[in-house]
Copies of this chain bind each other. A is one copy, B any other.
């Protein structure tokens, strides 16, 4: 046995994070172990705090530390616009662009016949209820330009078109691209040039 079991175990756990592998996990752990008091301890405690408090917003699916996320808890964000995104990462990417001042709905996936993901799994009934509850006038569909993403957008359009103005992000989002990988300027431009469905 070379490394103590505790450190080996930490490396294995870090190696499971997206974007890390065994080598980068080793480097990260060595870095942290050399900074036990200044970095490792505080990081451990912050993780525990988030593990203890993080929860999905019961309204929109964003991640927060209360029943309602900061956006849903802010009355100023009830401006009649709702932006439908696939993932929390996409919501954060929209927020980084900083132009959209309405609320979100995180589907947590897209409709997929193959994977048997239906409207219920994506919280679409909740979204429909929110249209009335929050007096939504415009729904901006910011879904991926994939087959499943566009299938989902069409399904939502069918459900919503009688009740709200539907828009989607303008061309500018590259085909097959993910919001989370775009720069803020591209997101801003696509949002400002959004077009009716």
Chain A interface residues toward B at CB < 8 A: 1-4, 6-7, 9-10, 13-14, 16-20, 23-24, 26-33, 36-37, 39-54, 63-66, 69-71, 87-89, 92, 95-96, 180
Contacts and interface: CB of A to CB of B under 8 A. Distances in A.
Nearest to A37: B51
A93 to B, nearest CB: 9
Q: Is the interface of A mostly helix, strand, loop or mixed?
A: helix
A88 B28 contact: no
Contacts of A69: 4
Q: Number of copies of this chain in the oligomer?
A: 2
A36 B54 contact: yes
Contacts of A43: 10, 13-14, 47
Contact of A47 (B10, B37, B52): B10
Contact of A51 (B4, B19, B36): B36
Most buried by B among A7, A40, A96: A7
B65 A7 contact: yes
Contacts of A53: 6
